Structure 1
């Protein structure tokens, strides 16, 4: 059975899929997790409709190319995981916001320390940390 997710979930999944590897057959699991996170963070109601918070954040129309995040503040609002890091760790590259290795390493280390992260997330975090180490050596 194919589950139809709200546009925000599908868009977030597309972004996640562009920036990481999602194991074959796990697509619906990842989409379900994204959906739950969006509900938990108040971006979607339990019927999958964007909330006022999503509207105020400017993402109610989706996360596609038409909703480019022009400012770093908008980016951090959309992706709160980056909120704790100083703006000096980010720059805009080819129209997208990117973080430096300090931020990436910190997020990977937090993923490894998080008892709720999945085995796939743990493997991905370790692989990214190895790549960073190889580049820096």
Structure 2
């Protein structure tokens, strides 16, 4: 199975993006193994108690879906560049769920996917579904 088909825990994905931004070229699998070996995350990708106590994942909070999401909007936008161009007023923090966006952002991101000639049929289908969902948000 190719690495791009593997869904890694959010802390691994975020660590991978940080590594890339700093010029470190490791695979996500290597990042995962390094984080587990160092005691930062457990084999399921959750931060260990020692990592939480040390404040190493303090910018992130566990949400209902079991993943971690940045508690600061600036970090969230950095982790999710597709939202970077939208004003902060379009985002709301919902306890236990994380960041939510309004219909304007949903439509914008969906249209970006539909206008991207490299988007896959699955991405386009999801974008159409998001446009329908946005109609009911208003």
Q: Provide TM-score, normalisation by structure 2.
A: 0.56
Deviation at 1:4, TM superposition (A): 8.6
CA contact (8 A) 2:102 2:137 kept: no
Which stretch has the larger CA shift, 94-103 or 126-135?
126-135
Larger Rg: 2
- Secondary structure in structure 2 of the residue aligned to 1:10: coil
State the match for 1:76 in structure 2. 77
User: What is the distance in 2 between the residues matched to 1:63 and 1:125?
Assistant: 30
2:33 corresponds to 1:47? no
Count of residue pairs brought into register by the alignment = 100
User: What is the distance in 2 between the residues matched to 1:131 and 1:120?
Assistant: 16
Structure 1 residues 1-137: aligned runs within 5 Å: 3=1, 10-12=8-10, 42=20, 45-48=25-28, 49-50=30-31, 65=62, 67-95=68-96, 96-136=98-138
Greater percentage in strand: 2
Supply the RMSD in Å over aligned alpha carbons.
3.6
Deviation at 1:74, TM superposition (A): 1.1
- Structure 2 gap ranges (5+): 32-39, 48-61
Greater percentage in helix: 1
User: What is the distance in 1 between the residues matched to 2:46 and 2:86?
Assistant: 22
Deviation at 1:81, TM superposition (A): 1.0
